[in-house]
Amino acid sequence: MTLQAGVVAVQGDVSEHAEAIERAGAAHGTETSVVEIRESGLVPDCDALLLPGGESTTISRLVHREGIAPEIEAHVAAGKPLLATCAGLILLSTDANDDRVDTLDLLDVTVERNAFGRQRDSFEAPLDVIGLDDPFPAVFIRAPVVGSVGEDVEVLATWDDRPVAVRQGPVIGTAFHPELTPDSRIHDLAFFDDVKAGVSSV
Ligand code: GLN
């Protein structure tokens, strides 16, 4: 059986996410077919979705304009897995503290954009993540942090005492970029843990 994954491709690390989910799937004996999403009509056929980083203001504008936003909401309402990274996390929040980001409210968290400031704009850190045995090499690039966290949200990782990875139902959001290292354990956690997406791990 082939897992149909979609990477929202209006901006960001599209091919890196595609490779990461393919790698994670292969480790489970699952073939993954990846479609790039720039228009409406493709998301409904996807078992799994990835929402990359980029500029949350731009991604917000485009997913709403192209009619992709309601399809992402329906995907999550159907209980299908979604991994959102960095600007993707910002877009899924309930409040990005920025009027230019029309959030999708799929993660009950508020976020602060570019929260690590200019000094530590981009950095890599070994991050303890719930569900992973060893620290994950987390690459932060002008990353947000999570502010308030709703009661249905599980904090999977913190850095400097601030949440940087969260899970709510089928949705995982990370402030960092798991697609930028060869380590695909976050994609594994999002899509193949507990036999997600209706695909059995052979
Ligand atoms: N700084 C970007 C924003 O606020 C996010 C950066 C990223 O996705 N790497 O939208």
The residue behind tokens 């990782």 is 157
Report residue 62 as tokens: 């485009």
What integer pLDDT is reported at residue 121 of this predicted model?
Answer: 84
How far is Cα 135 from Cα 133, in angstroms, rounded to an integer?
A: 7
Compute the average pLDDT of residues 38-65.
97
Q: Helices (DSSP H) in 100-153: which residue ranges? A: none
Paired sense of beta strands 48-51 and 2-8, if any: parallel
The ligand 1 atom at the shortest distance from the C-alpha of residue 53 is 8
Residue 63: enclosing H or E segment and its boundaries? helix 56-65
> How far, in whole angstroms, is CA 26 from its chain's centroid?
20
Domain residue ranges in the chain: 2-195
Q: Read off the pLDDT of residues 90-136 as tens digits, 9 standing for 90 and up.
A: 999 999 999 999 999 999 999 999 998 766 789 999 999 999 999 99
Looking at domain 2-195, its CATH class is: alpha beta
Q: Percent of the chain scored above 90 by pLDDT?
A: 89
> In sequence order, what are the residues at sequence separation of 6 or more whose Cβ sits closer than 8 angstroms to the Cβ of residue 118?
none
What integer pLDDT is reported at residue 11 of this predicted model?
Answer: 84
- Which of 50, 56, 97, 99 has the most ligand 1 atoms within 8 A of CB, as the residue to mutate? 56
What's the pTM?
0.94
How far is Cα 142 from Cα 133, in angstroms, rounded to an integer?
A: 27
Residue 187: enclosing H or E segment and its boundaries? helix 185-191
